[in-house]
Amino acid sequence: MTTLGRILVVEDDPNDVELTLTALADYNLANEVVVTRDGQQALDYLCCRGEFSTRSAGNPAVMLLDLKLPKVGGLEVLQQIKSDERLKMIPVVVLTSSHEEKDMMRSYSLGVNAYVVKPVDFHEFVNAVKELGIFWGVINEPPPGSMEKLR
Protein backbone atom coordinates (compact mmCIF):
# COMPACT_ATOMS: atom_id res chain seq x y z
CA MET A 1 0.00 0.00 0.00
CA THR A 2 2.27 2.63 -1.19
CA THR A 3 -0.06 4.64 -3.31
CA LEU A 4 -3.20 6.53 -2.53
CA GLY A 5 -5.72 7.34 -5.20
CA ARG A 6 -7.52 10.62 -5.46
CA ILE A 7 -11.13 10.53 -4.37
CA LEU A 8 -13.68 12.79 -6.05
CA VAL A 9 -16.68 13.44 -3.85
CA VAL A 10 -19.79 14.86 -5.52
CA GLU A 11 -22.16 15.97 -2.76
CA ASP A 12 -24.35 19.05 -2.46
CA ASP A 13 -25.11 18.88 1.24
CA PRO A 14 -22.36 20.65 3.26
CA ASN A 15 -23.10 18.55 6.32
CA ASP A 16 -22.73 15.35 4.37
CA VAL A 17 -19.51 16.71 2.91
CA GLU A 18 -18.18 17.39 6.38
CA LEU A 19 -19.26 14.03 7.72
CA THR A 20 -17.76 12.26 4.72
CA LEU A 21 -14.50 14.15 5.11
CA THR A 22 -14.50 13.41 8.84
CA ALA A 23 -14.96 9.75 8.13
CA LEU A 24 -12.19 9.76 5.54
CA ALA A 25 -9.93 11.80 7.81
CA ASP A 26 -10.17 9.10 10.46
CA TYR A 27 -8.21 6.92 8.11
CA ASN A 28 -5.90 9.56 6.67
CA LEU A 29 -7.74 9.36 3.42
CA ALA A 30 -8.89 12.96 3.38
CA ASN A 31 -5.76 14.48 1.88
CA GLU A 32 -6.48 13.51 -1.66
CA VAL A 33 -10.18 14.28 -1.65
CA VAL A 34 -11.68 16.71 -4.13
CA VAL A 35 -15.16 17.92 -3.35
CA THR A 36 -17.53 19.18 -6.03
CA ARG A 37 -20.94 20.43 -5.07
CA ASP A 38 -23.10 19.70 -8.08
CA GLY A 39 -23.18 17.59 -11.21
CA GLN A 40 -22.01 20.36 -13.49
CA GLN A 41 -18.99 21.09 -11.32
CA ALA A 42 -18.14 17.39 -11.18
CA LEU A 43 -18.22 17.13 -14.96
CA ASP A 44 -16.15 20.30 -15.24
CA TYR A 45 -13.60 18.76 -12.94
CA LEU A 46 -13.46 15.50 -14.85
CA CYS A 47 -13.15 17.24 -18.19
CA CYS A 48 -10.65 19.84 -16.90
CA ARG A 49 -12.72 22.78 -17.99
CA GLY A 50 -14.13 25.94 -16.42
CA GLU A 51 -12.69 26.55 -12.99
CA PHE A 52 -10.71 23.32 -13.25
CA SER A 53 -9.04 24.07 -16.57
CA THR A 54 -5.68 24.44 -14.89
CA ARG A 55 -5.71 21.30 -12.77
CA SER A 56 -3.15 18.59 -13.40
CA ALA A 57 -4.39 15.94 -15.78
CA GLY A 58 -5.55 12.50 -14.75
CA ASN A 59 -8.70 10.84 -13.56
CA PRO A 60 -9.58 10.25 -9.91
CA ALA A 61 -9.17 6.73 -8.56
CA VAL A 62 -12.78 6.71 -7.53
CA MET A 63 -15.76 8.98 -7.59
CA LEU A 64 -18.32 9.04 -4.80
CA LEU A 65 -21.49 10.30 -6.43
CA ASP A 66 -24.70 11.45 -4.77
CA LEU A 67 -27.81 11.05 -6.89
CA LYS A 68 -29.78 14.07 -5.82
CA LEU A 69 -27.73 16.99 -7.04
CA PRO A 70 -28.53 20.51 -8.18
CA LYS A 71 -28.23 21.43 -11.88
CA VAL A 72 -27.10 18.09 -13.33
CA GLY A 73 -28.45 15.09 -11.42
CA GLY A 74 -26.31 12.18 -10.33
CA LEU A 75 -27.77 9.73 -12.82
CA GLU A 76 -27.11 12.14 -15.64
CA VAL A 77 -23.54 12.65 -14.51
CA LEU A 78 -23.16 8.88 -14.41
CA GLN A 79 -24.57 8.54 -17.88
CA GLN A 80 -22.22 11.17 -19.28
CA ILE A 81 -19.20 9.61 -17.63
CA LYS A 82 -20.00 6.12 -18.83
CA SER A 83 -20.59 7.28 -22.37
CA ASP A 84 -17.34 9.25 -22.53
CA GLU A 85 -14.37 7.28 -23.84
CA ARG A 86 -11.87 9.11 -21.62
CA LEU A 87 -13.94 8.92 -18.44
CA LYS A 88 -15.78 5.64 -18.56
CA MET A 89 -13.02 3.72 -16.82
CA ILE A 90 -13.30 5.83 -13.67
CA PRO A 91 -14.81 3.67 -10.94
CA VAL A 92 -18.02 5.35 -9.84
CA VAL A 93 -19.64 4.59 -6.51
CA VAL A 94 -23.12 5.92 -5.99
CA LEU A 95 -23.43 7.06 -2.38
CA THR A 96 -27.00 8.07 -1.81
CA SER A 97 -29.88 8.18 0.63
CA SER A 98 -32.09 6.46 -1.89
CA HIS A 99 -33.17 2.92 -1.23
CA GLU A 100 -35.33 3.07 -4.33
CA GLU A 101 -35.14 0.05 -6.57
CA LYS A 102 -35.69 2.38 -9.51
CA ASP A 103 -32.52 4.36 -8.77
CA MET A 104 -30.57 1.18 -8.17
CA MET A 105 -31.69 -0.41 -11.41
CA ARG A 106 -30.97 2.72 -13.37
CA SER A 107 -27.52 3.15 -11.82
CA TYR A 108 -26.50 -0.42 -12.50
CA SER A 109 -27.82 -0.34 -16.02
CA LEU A 110 -25.70 2.77 -16.59
CA GLY A 111 -22.70 0.79 -15.43
CA VAL A 112 -22.10 1.99 -11.89
CA ASN A 113 -19.32 0.12 -10.05
CA ALA A 114 -21.02 0.10 -6.65
CA TYR A 115 -24.20 1.36 -5.08
CA VAL A 116 -24.06 2.30 -1.41
CA VAL A 117 -27.01 3.57 0.59
CA LYS A 118 -25.89 6.06 3.22
CA PRO A 119 -26.70 4.48 6.56
CA VAL A 120 -28.63 6.68 8.96
CA ASP A 121 -26.50 5.52 11.85
CA PHE A 122 -23.34 7.60 12.09
CA HIS A 123 -21.04 4.74 12.95
CA GLU A 124 -22.29 2.75 10.05
CA PHE A 125 -21.98 5.79 7.83
CA VAL A 126 -18.40 6.39 8.92
CA ASN A 127 -17.59 2.72 8.42
CA ALA A 128 -19.19 2.66 5.00
CA VAL A 129 -17.32 5.74 3.81
CA LYS A 130 -14.09 4.52 5.37
CA GLU A 131 -14.35 1.14 3.73
CA LEU A 132 -15.18 2.72 0.42
CA GLY A 133 -12.15 4.97 0.76
CA ILE A 134 -9.87 2.11 1.67
CA PHE A 135 -11.13 -0.22 -0.99
CA TRP A 136 -11.22 2.18 -3.91
CA GLY A 137 -8.43 4.48 -2.78
CA VAL A 138 -5.95 1.94 -1.51
CA ILE A 139 -6.76 -1.70 -2.19
CA ASN A 140 -8.19 -1.43 -5.67
CA GLU A 141 -5.79 -0.92 -8.55
CA PRO A 142 -7.20 2.06 -10.38
CA PRO A 143 -7.34 2.01 -14.17
CA PRO A 144 -4.23 3.33 -15.96
CA GLY A 145 -4.15 7.09 -16.25
CA SER A 146 -5.34 7.80 -12.73
CA MET A 147 -3.54 10.27 -10.59
CA GLU A 148 -1.51 8.57 -7.93
CA LYS A 149 0.55 9.90 -5.16
CA LEU A 150 3.16 8.19 -3.08
CA ARG A 151 1.98 7.82 0.42
Q: Are strands 3-5 and 148-150 parallel, antiparallel or unpaired?
A: antiparallel
Q: What is the largest CA-CA distance in the chain?
A: 40
Number of residues located near other proteins, criterion CB under 8 A: 20
Rounding to the nearest 10 degrees, give the CA dihedral for residues 59, 61, 65, 71. -10
Single out the residue of 33, 42, 125, 128 in contact with other proteins (rule: CB under 8 A): 125
Q: Which is nearer to other proteins, 22 or 113 (CB)?
A: 22
Closest to 7 in 3D by CA, of 63, 90, 82:
63
Single out the residue of 99, 141, 144, 150 in contact with other proteins (rule: CB under 8 A): 99
Q: Which is nearer to other proteins, 57 or 120 (CB)?
A: 120
Q: Which is nearer to other proteins, 12 or 148 (CB)?
A: 12
Rg (the chain; Cα; Å)? 14
Q: Which residue stretch of 32-40, 46-54, 91-99, 137-145 sits at the interface with other proteins (rule: CB under 8 A)?
A: 91-99
Residue 97, interface with other proteins (CB under 8 A)? yes
Single out the residue of 3, 16, 40, 130 in contact with other proteins (rule: CB under 8 A): 16
What amino acid occupies position 30? Answer: A
Residue 26's region, left for phi above 0, alpha for psi from -120 to 50, else beta, is alpha
Please report, as ranges, the residues that interact with other proteins according to CB under 8 A: 13, 15-16, 19, 22, 67-68, 96-101, 118-123, 125
